[in-house]
Amino acid sequence: GLGFNIVGGTDQQYISNDSSIYVSRIKKDGAAYLDGRLQEGDKILAVNGKDLKDLRHKDAVELFMNAGYNVSLKIQRRLQPQNGPVGHQGDGDSGGLPLAAILVPGLALAVTAVWILLRYRQRM
């Protein structure tokens, strides 16, 4: 297969009032995964030039099954995931400075201040 699953169609709408075909899952190590361009949530507009508008789910599946070895997809990328907070990047990065970037220079400054104070006291 092509290495991905689809949802949608006129008979199985994935999004309310939208009968488009969407990529629901990309199978690890499948053709789509290895190619790297297709993403989960992408809307598939056409397969090998054949428009997917107003197709039943099973007819869309049949088009993919008969697409051949070299497959051309026309897609529309979804800008943000269907679920989850707006602006969530999903990589665990808060976008701020790491704690070490603040603590290390502060600690170095404190050690230097103590060293200067001790040297100053020895001279008195």
Query: 104: which 2 tokens?
Result: 């290390």
Alpha-carbon distance of 97 to 105, in angstroms, equals 13
pLDDT tens digits, the chain, 124 residues: what are they? Answer: 789 999 999 999 989 999 999 999 999 989 999 999 999 999 999 999 999 999 999 999 999 999 888 889 999 997 665 565 554 444 444 445 555 556 666 666 676 777 777 777 776 6
Instruction: Give me 115's structure tokens.
Output: 């060293």
Q: Which helix (H) or strand (E) holds 86?
A: none
User: What is the spatial distance between Cα 5 and Cα 82, in angstroms, rounded to a whole number?
Assistant: 17
Q: State the Cα angle at 41 between 12 and 54, rounded to 5°.
A: 35
pLDDT of residue 90: 45
Provide the pLDDT for residue 48. Answer: 94
Closest C-alpha to 68, from 83, 45, 50, 85 = 50
Prediction pTM value:
0.62
Residue 54 within any structural domain of the chain: yes
- The residues with which 23 forms a beta bridge, in sequence order, are 6
Tokens representing 64 are 């993919």
Residue 56: inside a domain:
yes
- Number of domains the chain contains: 1
Handedness of CA 66, 77, 18, 13 (dihedral sign): positive
CATH number assigned to the domain comprising residue 25: 2.30.42.10
pLDDT score of 92 = 46
- In a domain, residue 19? The reply is yes
Supply the range of the domain harboring residue 19: 4-76
